[in-house]
Amino acid sequence: MGPVSLREKIKSGFIDPLRKEQVLNELKYFNSIAPKSWRESFKVNKEKIREFSEKYVVLIIIGFFLLLPCIFALMAFALNIGIILLLVWVFVGRNRGTPEYKAYDFRERVVRPAVRLLDDRLDLDFHYNKYDLVDEDIYYDDALVEARLVRPINKKAHAYTYSSVSYNWDDIYDTDAFEMLGYKLYYEYKDSDGDTHEDIFFDGLILKFRTPFTLNGTVNIMSTQTKNTLIGEREKNRFKKIKDKDINVIDTENSEFADNFDTIATYDNEAYEYLTPSRIESLLKLRKDHYICICIKKNVMTVSIYGGFKDVGKYAFAATKPYSRSLDSEAELDKMLRQYTKAVSSIYELRDILV
């Protein structure tokens, strides 16, 4: 009997209590060396406030009306004071902490073992393989452009990864295998006044799935989008524009699908075999809420979806070290595990729609 699949583990909800206790102890240690939160630092004793209020209720009411003009005056400055306190915390509070806290590797010591509580084959990496998308040795961002997952960019572009996870990706025959990347691709520029602006090409999820079929060529299915301009309605595409060179533009009999998606393929028959009536219907339902691009090559489907899908978002498997401690380590760990479980379930839900 082979290993239990991740899907089955998610459904059963079983987590080894001994291993969970080990992760919990590590999280407790982290919280013991992490700085206090600003809320905890300014926490007031509710019991003492209640006793004071009961004892001096009449004086409090009289004082309230006497100080009412002052209260209105203070409210006028409350917003500015709040902004100042936030800036102080950002530039001073975030740099707090002991040398132990600053040197602590939260990703490796807490997040990675917490993710693996669901399954040992889950990992925090996105294993990019150029042969999944392109046949030449080019950079990752260039490969995404080549696969028409994002638009071409200039040299000023920046890439940012929010979080990532993979499941058993090295097994090319495991159709339950997947990868997920919370990814942002953008560049900054300055206008004539010297103000900095950000032009976002992509900000969302990139996922990869193993397909039960293998293609000889490549099939791309890209969401279209129109916007109203002064000269009428114009098509806008966040992904790479189609060029009729060494590819075939695929026309389907479904006019609604043609209005919502651009489809290109190396071989017509492979695109038509994938675009069955039921799959076209599923893609149209998905398109109502999501801007999506699909690239299928060999037995790998790479999906680019702007924003998130259900319970899986850019931060679903974030491994950033918290700036402050949590007072309830067990509740914190349980929250992390619920987040991972919901995210994996959503990834499989998307896979079932597309593959």
Query: pLDDT truncated to tens, each residue of the chain (355 aa)?
Result: 567 889 999 999 999 999 999 999 999 999 999 998 766 655 555 556 566 566 666 666 666 666 667 666 666 666 566 666 555 555 555 555 788 999 999 999 999 999 999 999 999 988 765 444 444 444 555 556 555 565 555 556 677 889 999 999 989 999 999 999 998 878 777 788 888 888 787 889 999 999 999 999 888 888 886 555 454 444 454 444 444 444 567 788 889 998 898 888 888 999 999 999 999 999 999 999 998 989 898 899 989 898 999 999 999 999 999 988 998 999 999 999 999 999 999 999 999 999 9
Closest Cα partner for 29 from 322, 321, 329?
329
Q: Are residues 29 and 62 in the same domain?
A: no
Q: Is residue 121 part of a domain?
A: yes
Instruction: Mark which of 47, 75, 95 sits at the end of a domain.
Output: 95
Could you give the C-alpha distances from 75 to 72, 109, 191, in angstroms and in order?
5, 45, 36
Domain boundary among 48, 69, 95: 95
Residue 207 belongs to domain spanning: 6-35+99-354
Residues 6+ apart with CB under 8 A from 225: 235, 236, 237, 238, 291
Q: For residue 315, tell me if it sits in a domain.
A: yes
What DSSP element (H or E) covers 60? Answer: helix 57-66
**Domain-embedded: residue 1:** no
Same-domain check for residues 81 and 167: no
Q: Are residues 13 and 52 in the same domain?
A: no
Q: Number of folded domains in the chain?
A: 2
Give me the helices (H) in 276-316, please: 277-287
Of 78, 95, 112, which closes a domain? 95
Does residue 236 share a domain with residue 151?
Answer: yes
Same-domain check for residues 306 and 230: yes
Q: Quick one: tokens of 197?
A: 């602006």
Give CA–CA dist 15/29, Å, rounded: 21
Q: Answer whether residue 291 is part of any domain.
A: yes
pTM for the complete prediction? 0.78
- 113 and 77 belong to one structural domain: no
Contact 116, 165 (CB under 8 A): no
Instruction: Flag whether 107 is in a domain.
Output: yes
**Is the same domain home to 105 and 174?**
yes
Residue 272 lies in a domain: yes
Domain assignment present for 156: yes
Q: Residue 148 — left, alpha, or beta (φ > 0 → left; ψ -120 to 50 → alpha)? A: left
- Which spans in 94-248 are helix H? 99-103, 106, 112-115, 140-146
Co-location of 333 and 297 in the same domain = yes
User: Is residue 151 included in any domain, yes or no?
Assistant: yes
Residues 279 and 322 in one domain: yes
